[in-house]
Structure 1
Amino acid sequence: MVIGEVGDWPVGEDLDDLAAYAMAQGAEGYEVHEVRLCRCAACGGQVFGVHGDLEERAAKRVCRGCGAEHFIADSGGYWDDTRSAVMVCECDGDGDEEDFNVAVGFSLYAASGGIRALAITSRCVACGRLGYWDDWMIRGGDMHLLDLA
C-alpha cells in the first residue's frame, strides 16, 4: 500500500490503496468498519464510469467492460436520470466521464450490526487520484446492502 500525494491530491497505485483510502475517509463523520471494492457482477470488471444524483444521495456505476449498470446500495429507489451528474477527474479537465475503480465504505452500528452510513470513494485509472464522491446515512440499513456496493 502506497498512498502518495500530487499537489493537494492523494494518489494510489492500486485497489489496496483505494481500500485504505476508503477506510480512512469515514462515512457521514463516522468510522468505516467495512470496505467493499466494486466488481461487476456480469463480467468481473473493476473499471467503471460513475453517475450520481447528489441531491437524492444516489449513485450508480457503469462497467467499462460490458456496460452493465449497477445502483450502489439502495440508490435505485431514489434515482432520477434528469438530475444525474457524471464523476470526472481533475486530471482530464474536459468534463468528460473518466474511468474509475470504486470502493464503498460502510459504517456499522456496533450493537445491532446494521449499517449506519456509507461513503463512495474512487481511484482514477488514468492518474491514480483518490477521491471522495458522496456519503449518506442508511440508519439501521439492512446488512444485505454490503453486497450491493
Structure 2
Amino acid sequence: MHADDQVGEGVSADLAVLLRSVDDGRPVKIVPSVCGGCGGRVFLVLFDDVEGGAARMCVACGGRAFIADSEEFWEDADPGEAGCPCGSREFETAVAFSLGNDGMVRWVTVALRCRRDGAVGVCADWKIDYGPTDHLLTMA
C-alpha cells in the first residue's frame, strides 16, 4: 500500500484490498466500473489475460464499454469470458491505475468480485508505455 493511494467511492473493501496488494509500490487510483447508460454496477466481463485488455457489458441494460485502452488492441486479442468457480458470470468490477512519479498511468489492473459468492480475483493487467494518459482514468 502506498500513502498516495486513492480509492473511489463505491469500490468494495474486498476489491480495494486486492488491488492494493497487487500494485508494484507505486501509488494507485482505484475506480469502480459504472455503466454510463444506466449507472449499473454488475457486469459480464471479457478479458485477454495474455496481452491484457478487458471489456464489460452491463447486466441491467446491456451497455458495453472497453476498460482503459483495451479497444485499441481488441482486434488482436483472444478474449475469454470471466466466470467464477461457483458458476456465476456476473461481477462487480474495479480498476487500479498504477501511477508513475510523473502522475501518468503506467499499469492497469482489472479485478472482479463475484456477485453470488463474493470471491475476488484479478482477471487482467497490462502496461501503459505512452502518454499522456489522463483519459484512461475515466475508462473503468
Do both proteins adopt the same fold according to a TM-score greater than 0.5, normalized to the shorter chain? yes
Identity of aligned residues (%): 36
1:130 matched to which residue of 2? 120
Q: Secondary structure at the match of 2:106?
A: strand
Q: Distance in 2 between matches of 1:108 and 1:82?
A: 25
CA contact (8 A) 1:73 1:146 kept: yes
TM-score (norm 2): 0.83
**Among residues 81, 94, 112, which one is paired with 1:103 in the alignment?**
94
Unaligned runs of 5+ in 2: 1-10
**Among residues 52, 59, 64, which one is paired with 2:54 in the alignment?**
59
Q: Distance in 1 between matches of 2:13 and 2:104?
A: 25
CA contact (8 A) 1:32 1:105 kept: no
**Among residues 131, 144, 149, which one is paired with 2:135 in the alignment?**
144
Q: Distance in 2 between matches of 1:140 and 1:22?
A: 22
AA at the equivalent of 1:20: V
**Among residues 18, 21, 24, which one is paired with 2:18 in the alignment?**
21
- 1:82 CA drift (Å): 7.3
CA contact (8 A) 1:35 1:106 kept: yes
1:114 matched to which residue of 2? 104
* Between structures 1 and 2, the one with greater strand share: 1
- 1:22 CA drift (Å): 1.5
> Residues 32 and 130 (structure 1 numbering): CA distance in 2 closer, same or farther, change over 3 Å?
farther
Q: Deviations over 1:27-78 (max 9, x none)?
A: xx45452100110011000000000123331210110010011000000011
Q: Secondary structure at the match of 1:116?
A: strand
- Cα RMSD over matched residues? 1.9
1:6 matched to which residue of 2? none
Q: Distance in 1 between matches of 2:46 and 2:13?
A: 23
